[in-house]
Amino acid sequence: MDSVQATKQRFGIIGNNPKLNRAIEKAIQVAPTDISVLIVGESGVGKESMPKIVHSLSHRKHGKLIAVNCGAIPEGTIDSELFGHEKGAFTGATATRSGYFEEANSGTIFLDEVGELPLTTQVRLLRVLENKEFIKVGSSKVQKTDVRIVAATNVNMFEAIKKGKFREDLYYRLSTVEIGLPPLRERKEDIHLLFRKFASDFAMKYKMPTIRLEDEAIFLLEKYHWNGNIRQLRNVAEQISVLEQNRGITGETLKNYLPNSNTNLPAVISDSNSDSDFKNEREILYKVLFDMKSDLSDLKKLTLELMKNENAQEVQKDNEVLINKIYGDSEVRTLIKDPEETNQSYTNSPSEYLQLEVPLSERKEEDKYHFAEEVQEEETLSLQDKELELIKKSLDRHSGKRKLAAEELGISERTLYRKIKQYDL
């Protein structure tokens, strides 16, 4: 524990959180070795301090420590930055250039945001880790390098591997020892200490009295979520130091510098929630489609029964629940097509066989020739005879006017003309 406290004083690390102390202890233990280290934690938790500890306490401390932000280098030039290039290797390569791995020979290279590396660069990095070899861009000569790699990331590496954005073999080579740094919201006992340190530093920098928090402000400071972690806390301390005339900071004053201070939302929202919502919506859509398919199958079955059964009214009564399920309160009128048409496949649209009528409450009073009203239980006429009788009555009612008769029967004038010709009316 003494070595941990001494290390914190040496590198300006503030806090007594057990998770923070454990992370520093692991860095001290692994420093004398050449094991690759992966530092994980949210953005702004201070991951850049760990490589300094590892390098300074190792036998490479007299070598270079080069920090590379992998997320800030364009994909097209990152290979050249890391491994160097030969003259003429690409447009603009006017001279041979050494890369970071060549410059950091016998030292340590810190790859920050390593999860942002392109897949092609990951293959090159894996070769360095396994064989300590690399090839410059535009060269065929294999070069050796004796570099210790310390990497850091704020992304979920297992999710990145699952999505194919990061190589699994490279992850296990980098994370021989993994050091996790806790977010600031899990270090509530350290928040006020850090704020006081930042306030003191800014007071000296801007040559003004140090700001001090009242009890209510301290309580609010420790309760706040701190999505940006230590970086956000430092930013807030600097804003208040510069902008506030009164050096005693109340809770109301502090609220003005804390975005969404009335909420306590989590810092990171996983994409798995949206994926889950999408899957649920897709399942609901599939269920609706399967229900529609089932209804259509029932409708085809009912249509076939209506086409073949002589007593359509009884069929309609037996299937009243199904009819209401499909059509609601609207009535169904059965129109029998030509005999040759009934031999066709019933996979066509059911509306060719069953046509919707307006509800009874909206039908004209003079419509007295609805099919269901004409069919009597004791009648034994064939379906064709029933249809013929309906057509005759409708034509008589409208004095032979086919258009009006067709509208009343719910069929097209062309279909009515064909049936008149068929029955020789």
Domains of the chain: 2-182 (3.40.50.300), 185-255 (1.10.8.60), 275-423 (no CATH)
Measured over the CA atoms of residue 103, residue 105, residue 108 and residue 114, the dihedral's sign is: positive
Q: What is the rounded distance in angstroms from the CA atom of residue 341 to the CA atom of residue 205?
A: 94
Q: Which residues contact 56 (CB under 8 A, 6 or more apart)?
A: 10, 11, 31
Q: What is the DSSP letter of 5?
A: H
Q: What is the rounded distance in angstroms from the CA atom of residue 323 to the CA atom of residue 317?
A: 9
User: Long-range contacts: 317-324, Cβ < 8 Å, 24+?
Assistant: 322/298
Q: Token pair of 405, please?
A: 């008769």
| 110, 66 contact by CB (below 8 A) | yes
What pLDDT was estimated at residue 325? 54
Q: Token pair of 90, please?
A: 């690409």
What pLDDT was estimated at residue 408? 82
Q: What is the rounded distance in angstroms from the CA atom of residue 339 to the CA atom of residue 60?
A: 96
Q: What is the rounded distance in angstroms from the CA atom of residue 4 to the CA atom of residue 28?
A: 8
Q: How many alpha carbons fall within 13 Å on the CB side of residue 300? A: 11
Classify residue 371 as exposed, middle or buried by CB count within 10 Å of its CB (0-12, 13-18, 19+): buried
Q: What is the rounded distance in angstroms from the CA atom of residue 110 to the CA atom of residue 69?
A: 8
| 106, 63 contact by CB (below 8 A) | yes
Measured over the CA atoms of residue 321, residue 324, residue 330 and residue 333, the dihedral's sign is: negative
pLDDT tens by residue, the chain, 425 residues = 568 999 999 999 999 999 999 999 999 999 999 999 999 999 999 999 999 999 999 999 999 999 999 999 998 899 999 999 999 888 888 899 999 999 999 999 999 999 999 999 999 999 999 999 999 999 999 999 999 999 999 999 999 999 999 999 999 999 999 999 999 999 999 999 999 999 999 999 999 999 999 999 999 999 999 999 999 999 999 999 999 999 999 999 999 999 876 544 444 444 545 555 555 677 777 777 777 877 777 777 777 777 666 555 555 555 565 556 555 544 444 444 444 444 444 444 444 444 444 444 444 444 444 444 444 444 445 677 777 788 888 888 888 888 888 888 888 877 887 888 787 77
Q: Token pair of 149, please?
A: 């790699």
Q: Which residues contact 302 (CB under 8 A, 6 or more apart)?
A: 315, 319, 322, 323, 354
Q: What is the rounded distance in angstroms from the CA atom of residue 293 to the CA atom of residue 103?
A: 68
Flag whether the pTM goes above 0.85.
no
Query: In DSSP terms, which residues pair with 355 in a beta bridge?
Result: 333
What pLDDT was estimated at residue 307? 66
Q: What is the rounded distance in angstroms from the CA atom of residue 333 to the CA atom of residue 335?
A: 6
Helix axes 272-308, 320-327, angle to 10 degrees: 130
Three-state SS for 153?
Answer: strand
| 176, 134 contact by CB (below 8 A) | no
Cα R_g (the chain), whole angstroms: 40
What pLDDT was estimated at residue 204? 95
What pLDDT was estimated at residue 289? 78
- Nearest one of 323, 320, 330 to 358, comparing CA atoms: 330
Q: Which residues contact 235 (CB under 8 A, 6 or more apart)?
A: 228
Q: How far is CA 113 from CA 70, 97, 191, 289, in A?
A: 6, 24, 25, 45
Phi and psi at 356, nearest 5°, equal -80, 140
Q: 283-297 in b/e burial notation, b at 16+ Cβ within 10 A?
A: eeeeeeeeeeeeeee
